[in-house]
Amino acid sequence: MTGKHAAPQGSANSGYEADVLVIGGGPAGTWAAVCAAQAGASVILADKGYCGSSGATAAAGTAVWYVDPDPQKRAAAMASRYDMGGRLADHGWMGRVLDRTWDGINTLADWGYPFPVDADGVSRRNSLQGPEYMRLMRKQVKQAGGKILDHHPVLELLRDEHGAVAGAAGVDRQRGGAWSVRAGAVVIATGGCAFLSRALGCNVLTGDGLLMAAELGAELSGMEFSNAYGISPEFGSVTKTLFYSWATFTDADGVPIPGAASKGGRSVIARELLRQKVYARLDQADEATRQAMRAAQPNFFLPFDRSGIDPFTQRFPVTLRLEGTVRGTGGLRLAGPDCSTTVPGLYAAGDAATREPICGGFTGGGSHNAAWAISSGSWAGAGAAGHALAARGRGRTAIAAGAAGLRGNGARAADAAALVKAVQDEVMPFERNYFRTADVLEPSVARLDTQWHALRSAAPAAAVDLLATREAAAMLATSRWMYRSALARRETRGMHKRYDYLEQDAAQYHHLSAGGLDEVWVRPRAVDGGGVQSTTQSVPQSAPQTRLAA
């Protein structure tokens, strides 16, 4: 690697070369690796953990947006969340995703995924069990010829002299030392950011890919749609919320809480949690439903079984865990149908990419997100392969692009644990992030900006603290894009609720792009499908640009 910056220091150094580097080993990353390899590219996949068991999907079962190719069924599927998402989704993208997911799920069956068969002998393909799914995907990456680097977290991207991506560098958590990959294209499939909230499978989802891409100048979109909270037992980390449809919610005295079990019940629960404990009991499920629940989501019941609680007959305390952009829809903005970003050679897939094209401003666990992982992963992998193969043989420099926590001139390095807590103090409380108002958001932004500038002026982290410091930096950067976008959208749309602007405003029918590091900017962008023909209306030409200084 040439250039004025060096790779992170360690006791050993490993250098690799590939046409395509995929960062992240969840469903989106593995689909990207398989499709890039099938397109003729040499592929390396680097995972922060162990590809196949790391991340949100590997830890649980998930529904999939898998719909028969019947025009009426497809139309109903596309309409199901369109209004809920603030009408920001794009029908062109939705149709493509439904087509690709249909093919992808059927390919999984051909590869040997054990889909259950119903009483009529029909294979039921609308859900996946994470452990089996990811075990199969790891196998497919290897069979396609991809090389997997487990426990190789990426700390920064590399760029060439023209600003295009040229690879990445990181640390080897098992053997120690630094490593780097020179690549013609990179796919960011690092997932979303759950701010280390202890939601199951989300401990590796700290927004790393968003920060690294932004350091190359990539833009983000939909970051205001990032205040997703999942219901969880107070003593557990499982945030699968479907089963709470059969729950009765009560206060400490056993008095039912009005509205807690309704469609908008999460906000009711959040308000109650600000003043008292909330309890649940899944007593609305009959015996057949209870058995089906245990079969479908066995890990949901592990915390109860370990605590000696029968959730169907006994009350248990619940809380809301922040899932941020994991169940939100914000992420890297896509510049075209191949899931390219605004940086040459850089692609995004899965939760690291904005899901606005198919969800607008609202999504949830599984379903659309699972379909998006298959689809965007496939397109990003193929697109990255095409880009890299076209550039094969061109000599380029590779300059390290990382900054915050890696390079600085201060006398003392940042305290990563203290920085994580400072970010969590701003983004986790319901009274800040769920019940959003300018009076609350503006002081939070000011404090987050102060933390960012302190980090930028700190000394580089010691080798042992590099990963924790970069994770903290990524969460900090994500929180600033998130809250600045929330301030810029002065209305309620999708999951973004401004309690000082509770109505949806037709004049704000647009996406919000965001970017920048030392100076964060936010500006409206027309609802145009991001390169895919859209059937939705466009933003009026008079829509003003909003630029917010850091």
Residue 369 is predicted with a pLDDT of 94
Contact 489, 503 (CB under 8 A): no
For 510-522, what is the mean pLDDT?
A: 98
Q: With a cut of 90, say whether residue 171 has pLDDT above it.
A: yes
Give the pLDDT band of residue 527 (cuts 50, 70, 90).
Answer: very high
Torsion of CA 172, 173, 176, 179, to 10 degrees: 10
Asked whether residue 16 carries a pLDDT value surpassing 90, the answer given is: yes
- Return the beta strands (E) in 189-277 as ranges: 220-221, 228-233, 248-250
| Predicted confidence band of residue 13 (pLDDT cuts 50, 70, 90) | low
Residue 532 has pLDDT above 80, yes or no: no
Handedness of CA 405, 407, 409, 412 (dihedral sign): positive
The residue with tokens 């590091």 is 517
- What integer pLDDT is reported at residue 394 of this predicted model? 78
- pLDDT, mean of residues 114-130: 93
Q: Are residues 203 and 245 part of one domain?
A: no
Rounded mean pLDDT of 128-135? Answer: 95
- The whole-number pLDDT of residue 451 equals 98
**Residue 528: per-residue pLDDT:** 76
Tell me what pLDDT residue 2 has: 35
CA 142 to CA 145: how far, in whole Å?
A: 5
Domain count, the chain: 3
Q: How many helices (H) and strands (E) does the chain have?
A: 13, 18
Q: Could you read off the pLDDT of 362-417 as tens digits, one per residue?
A: 987 779 999 999 999 999 999 999 999 998 877 778 999 999 999 988 999 999 99
Spatial separation of the C-alpha atoms in residues 317 and 299, rounded to whole Å: 18
- Tens of pLDDT along 187-205? 999 999 999 999 999 999 9
Of 100, 159, 266, 493, the active-site residue reads 266
Give the up-direction half-sphere exposure of residue 432: CA atoms within 13 A in the CB hemisphere: 17
Neighbouring-strand partners of residue 169 = 156, 180
**Confidence tier at 462 by pLDDT (50, 70, 90):** very high
Q: Is the dihedral of CA 340, 346, 351, 352 positive or negative?
A: negative
pLDDT for the residue numbered 403: 95
- State whether residue 21 is helix, strand or coil: strand
Q: Which residue has the higher pLDDT, 108 or 542?
A: 108
In 3D space, the residue among 421, 327, 416, 324 whose CA is nearest the CA of residue 369 turns out to be 327
- Answer with the one of 461, 477, 498 that is the final residue of a domain: 498
Answer with the one of 341, 374, 400 that is the final residue of a domain. Answer: 400
**Judgement on whether residues 234 and 126 belong to the same structural domain of the protein:** no
Residues 386 and 435 in one domain: no
Q: Would you say 548 and 521 are in contact if contact means Cβ atoms under 8 Å apart?
A: yes
Query: Are residue 396 and residue 336 in the same domain, yes or no?
Result: yes
Q: How confident is the model at residue 149 (pLDDT cuts 50, 70, 90)?
A: very high
User: Domain containing 416: what range?
Assistant: 404-498
Confidence at 340, pLDDT banded by 50, 70, 90? very high
Amino acid at 471: E
Whether 470 is catalytic is no
**φ and ψ at 170, to 5 degrees?**
-160, -160
Q: Is the pLDDT of residue 7 over 70?
A: no
| Average pLDDT of the segment spanning 107-121 | 94
pLDDT at residue 56 is higher than 80: yes
Note whether residue 294 is domain-resident. yes
pLDDT score for 543: 32
Contact 214, 477 (CB under 8 A): yes
Q: Same domain, yes or no, for 265 and 148? A: no
Tell me: do 50 and 174 sit in the same domain.
yes
Section 474-486 average pLDDT: 98
pLDDT in tens, 276-314: 999 999 999 999 999 999 988 888 999 999 999 999 999
- Within this chain, do residues 245 and 314 fall inside the same structural domain, yes or no? yes
CATH code, domain with 482: 1.20.58.100
Do residues 19 and 140 both lie within one domain?
yes
Are 220 and 163 in the same domain?
A: yes
